[in-house]
Copies of this chain bind each other. A is one copy, B any other.
Amino acid sequence: MKAEIIAVGTELLLGQIANTNAQFLSQKLAEVGINVYYHITVGDNYERMLQVIERAKSRSDLIIFTGGLGPTQDDLTKDVVADHLGHKLVTDEKAMANIRDFFERRGTDMTENNRKQALVIEGSTVFDNDHGMAPGMGITQEGVTYVLLPGPPSEMYPMMENYVMPFLASLGNEHQIFHSRVFRFFGIGESLLEAKLIDLIEEQSNPTIAPYAKEFEVTLRITARATSVEQAERLLRPVEEEIRNRVGEFIYAVGESPLHQVLYEQLLVKQETISFAESCTGGTVSQLLTSVPGASQVYRGGIVCYSNEIKHQWLDVPLEVLETEGAVSETTARLLAENIRQKMGTTYGVSVTGVAGPESSEGKPVGLVYIGIASEKQPTLVKKVQVAGQRRAIIGRVAKNALYYALQQLHCND
């Protein structure tokens, strides 16, 4: 199947927003083995949209539109696609009720133009919008499937996951579903992971295997197409086993949660708490953990000890240690971790001290970092890590390393 993604919106052509929708849709399609050949962005203009659609129809089997389903005069996607197909627009009563509800909940009157959002292409499958007003829709004509989705990611992502993926699975075979699993890796780069699995990735078509790198983490998603979850699981199992045989040592979790969320979840299960003493990461580790709603249940606080005085006065690192071994040293990392843990009264204390760059410090190279993990039950662990990149990437990678080693230490205590 050849797919094409058409984003509609002048704000994209003005550079006001990036087309992250195309990336998200491409990932979802790649995961189920549908090849995307083109991304197109076009403005809110009837003639140009029509030309783009005609071109797409001549070369693609699946055309997914995002944007242009709203209530204003600028929103033309449904009109243009309906005209192209020679279909009418009709009111979808369920969508209309949803729109009425939306205004009732807000306590405001529905304006007339909002009725437009309940119009759908006659004969299409309608996708509920659980996070907004404009429904999506899908329709096949002359062997080409057209899918229309709203532009806001908060509406589009869940609609794609919950309604469009099952719709695509059932194309040509209405009893099929997609079923997938995500493995989360640490300590291995995306290219090395891909190299170790390249024969599987290239040979496999069901399940498909798709690696991704995002925010200094690497993940791998395997997706099976089958007639039931049980059948899909039978297809996934041998592939999972082979992946675990080859790179299992780098898997730290299975699922959609990033590292800081996994750490939060596991601390919560164990009813344990954590605190951080951060030097070179400047608050990034705390910021990541507190981005999780409910973080206060496992996190009590932290210190950003950016100067030697603060390391000494607040966390009792002796001046002698700072002068002889330096702030970036195993001893400093150990003392920071032990003392933040003891002073904050938490189960774990995690420290990070290193050189974020761009300049080296204490004669130590950019990217050299010591991470300390103190706990009640285990001797303090200090990891020496050397990471690559510019300042921003170093800080990001080091923060992930700190979260990862904290998680490892949690498991040691099991």
Say yes or no: B307 contacts A300, CB within 8 Å. yes
Oligomer copy total: 2
Please indicate the chain B residues that have their CB under 8 angstroms from the CB of A15 in the complex: 22-30, 36, 212
Say yes or no: B299 contacts A306, CB within 8 Å. yes
Return the chain B residue nearest A48 by Cβ: B37
The residues in A between 322 and 368 inclusive whose CB is less than 8 angstroms from any CB of B are 344-345, 356-359
Say yes or no: B306 contacts A303, CB within 8 Å. no
Chain B min CB distance to A184 (Å): 17
Say yes or no: A304 contacts B290, CB within 8 Å. yes
Question: What 0/1 pattern do residues 257 to 299 of A give for CB contact below 8 A with B?
Answer: 0000000000000000000101001111111011101011001
Say yes or no: A291 contacts B37, CB within 8 Å. no
Considering only CB atoms and an 8 Å cut-off, how many residues of chain A contact the other chain? Answer: 70
Say yes or no: B293 contacts A357, CB within 8 Å. yes
Please indicate the chain B residues that have their CB under 8 angstroms from the CB of A37 in the complex: 13, 42-43, 48
Residue from the set A42, A286, A291 with the largest chain B CB neighbour count within 10 Å: A286
Say yes or no: A23 contacts B17, CB within 8 Å. yes
Say yes or no: B36 contacts A39, CB within 8 Å. no
Q: Is A14 interfacial (CB 8 A cutoff)?
A: yes
Q: Is A41 interfacial (CB 8 A cutoff)?
A: yes
Q: Is A321 interfacial (CB 8 A cutoff)?
A: no
Q: Is A167 interfacial (CB 8 A cutoff)?
A: no
Please indicate the chain B residues that have their CB under 8 angstroms from the CB of A305 in the complex: 301
Please indicate the chain B residues that have their CB under 8 angstroms from the CB of A358 in the complex: 293
Contact A309:B304 (CB < 8 A) given known A15-B25, A15-B27:
no
Return the chain B residue nearest A25 by Cβ: B15
Please indicate the chain B residues that have their CB under 8 angstroms from the CB of A39 in the complex: 7, 12-13, 19, 39-41
Say yes or no: A296 contacts B307, CB within 8 Å. yes
Known: A19-B22, A293-B359. 10 other contacts (CB 8 A): A15-B212, A18-B18, A40-B41, A282-B290, A284-B287, A296-B307, A301-B305, A301-B306, A301-B307, A302-B304
